Structure 1
Amino acid sequence: MPRPVLSRRARLGAATVAALVTGTAVFGIGQATAEHSVPRTDKEIPNLTQVQDRIKAYYGDTVTADGEHYASPHSNYARQVRGIETRARSYLTKALAKPADRSGAHGKPVERTRPAIVLDMDDTTLLTYNYELQVGFHFTPESQDKYLASTDMDPVFGMNRLVNWAHDKGAEVFFITGRKEAQREWSVRNLKNVGYGVPLDRTHVFLKNKENPPPYLPCGADCSTVEYKSGTRRHIESLGYDIVANFGDQYSDLQGGAGNRTFKLPNPMYYLP
């Protein structure tokens, strides 16, 4: 998902505030909160170096001989993701087993709705950790393009298996990402190469197209993340799908309705409103 171009400090600061507001991390007593967002003293501001160290420890930072950084499958991050996937699989086992026929007026059958799941891409199905460490948590559109053109991101631990399993159980799979349309070929290549064995054509993978926004988005090229993603989900529903689950690493991936249940993946590296 493309992100606003922020400085390294701003991006880490946003991640820290997001973690504090949602209660996913605690850096000490007296930290800034949603009610008191302007620190009164330096003691209310987490140290940026220490924040980076905590992020690396959480992901189980593993450095290869050539200096590349990867998350460990034995990390607390991976452990937390596995817990979310276990809950999702339990829920989907029941949701996908339910009959999808719905009765209309006077008990007359209506068109069968097809179950579907919707997923974000960055840090929901593909892990950006290696990229983030390469750029020092300093995202730019240029560095993202260069990385995606030449490098496949690893799958978020276990998500490829969960997605393939859900598809085998009858769920249609859709990806909605804030990545730009020009990154489609790289994104689809990456998903295929790391084991997402589901349809990845244009009717299943939605990228943000500011130059030619689709007619089903009233906000056009000016959509916020919530408007773009919820509007696209409503479009999917209009095609006859029942979105039984929506997966994302940002709350903006999950807000706006159009979906029966949401699953939030962890991401302390950046925050997108």
Structure 2
Amino acid sequence: MSRARLSRRSLALTAAAVTLGATFYGVGAATADNSVPRSDKQIPNLTDVVNEIKAYYGDTVDASGEHFASADSSYAHQLAGIEAKATSDLAHALRSGGHGRHDAHGKKPAIVLDVDDTSVLTYNYELEVGFNYTPASNQAYLDSKNMPAVFGMDTLANWAADQGVTVFWITGRPEAQRADTVRNLSAVGYKSAPDTAHLYLKNSTNPPAYLSCGSTCTTIQYKSGTRAHIESLGYDIIGNFGDQYSDLSGGYADKSFKLPNPMYFLP
């Protein structure tokens, strides 16, 4: 997920995207109705949408005013269903595809995870900034706080690693946030090392040679191009996880898993 170029997000657009884009296990594309409303009745009330988001995440507030999602929330229950399906599919791929440390064709099994709202949850940050992401506010948040793991994703990633699957992360966060990202992932329970070889961040100043689009890549080009690079290193990506359809489109993964995120929509 990348938000570096999007300083404002519309909750109305989010509501449309949630309505039109159901959770899916294979790659698909979300569409949002961008036509001009003819009446205010066609526009979701922002206060109502925020309250619905809070209810979905099971909003809880601690003594210091920090907001957390609840493990008993609809969000957590929906995640659990997706993760159970993913674990079953990955286990089947490892059994039937000849995967161990290597498959029958010499390919090493791997999974790819996005970071924000796939590996760690941005919910508290989003509420702090009123769903109005800016690079400055995001950096200030990461400088002082860790985001919690998305329910169950640390367990899934650690289980995969125990089966001999290599864990990679591809995020639209800028290269400047590498240290913050490594610290956060390690602090909240991801056992696989998010080192330079396994954590890919967007480097617009010095883009890697394997991305032909260079510094002008769209999210889909950047993420699918990076997955293609990972596979060129001898890996078979048996599972790709993301909270945005743009995390998953473009190929170079045997199976993709869309995690829920009603807070924003990124093309």
Taking structure 1 as the reference length, the TM-score comes to: 0.90
Following superposition, the deviation at residue 5 of structure 1 comes to: 3.4
In structure 2, the partner of 1:272 is: 266
1:120 is the counterpart of 2:114? yes
Q: Could you tell me how far apart the structure 1 residues matched to 2:133 and 2:244 are?
A: 16
Q: Could you tell me how far apart the structure 1 residues matched to 2:60 and 2:199 are?
A: 31
Identity of aligned residues (%): 58
What SS does structure 1 have at the residue aligned with 2:204? coil
Change beyond 3 A, Cα 1:134–1:17: same
In structure 1, the partner of 2:152 is: 158
Q: Could you tell me how far apart the structure 2 residues matched to 1:62 and 1:35 are?
A: 32
Q: Could you tell me how far apart the structure 2 residues matched to 1:244 and 1:60 are?
A: 32
1:54 is the counterpart of 2:52? yes
Following superposition, the deviation at residue 20 of structure 1 comes to: 2.3
1:248 is the counterpart of 2:242? yes
Counterpart AA for 2:17: A
1:16 is the counterpart of 2:15? yes
Q: Could you tell me how far apart the structure 2 residues matched to 1:6 and 1:150 are?
A: 21
| Conservation of the 8 A alpha-carbon contact between 2:16 and 2:33 | no
1:219 is the counterpart of 2:213? yes
1:233 is the counterpart of 2:232? no
| Conservation of the 8 A alpha-carbon contact between 1:69 and 1:130 | yes
CA-to-aligned-CA distance 1:198-227 (integer Å, 9 cap, x gap): 021111000000000000000000000000
Counterpart AA for 2:66: E
Tell me which of 69, 72, 77 is aligned to 2:70.
Answer: 72
Counterpart AA for 2:16: V
Following superposition, the deviation at residue 189 of structure 1 comes to: 0.4
Q: Could you tell me how far apart the structure 1 residues matched to 2:19 and 2:189 are?
A: 34
Taking structure 2 as the reference length, the TM-score comes to: 0.92
Q: Could you tell me how far apart the structure 1 residues matched to 2:12 and 2:32 are?
A: 14
Following superposition, the deviation at residue 102 of structure 1 comes to: 6.8
> Any stretches of 5+ residues in structure 1 without a counterpart?
25-32, 104-110
Following superposition, the deviation at residue 6 of structure 1 comes to: 3.6
What SS does structure 2 have at the residue aligned with 1:77? helix
In structure 2, the partner of 1:27 is: none
What SS does structure 2 have at the residue aligned with 1:126? coil
What SS does structure 2 have at the residue aligned with 1:122? coil
Following superposition, the deviation at residue 35 of structure 1 comes to: 6.1
Counterpart AA for 2:178: R
Tell me which of 166, 170, 182 is aligned to 1:176.
Answer: 170
Following superposition, the deviation at residue 38 of structure 1 comes to: 2.5
CA-to-aligned-CA distance 1:1-54 (integer Å, 9 cap, x gap): 4413343xx431221221122157xxxxxxxx9567332211111111100000
Which structure has the larger Rg? 1
1:88 is the counterpart of 2:89? no
What SS does structure 2 have at the residue aligned with 1:152? coil
Q: Could you tell me how far apart the structure 2 residues matched to 1:200 and 1:120 are?
A: 12
Which fold has the larger relative contact order, with Cα–Cα distance below 8 Å and residues 6 or more apart in sequence? Answer: 2
Q: What CA RMSD, in Å, does the superposition of the two structures yield over aligned residues?
A: 1.6
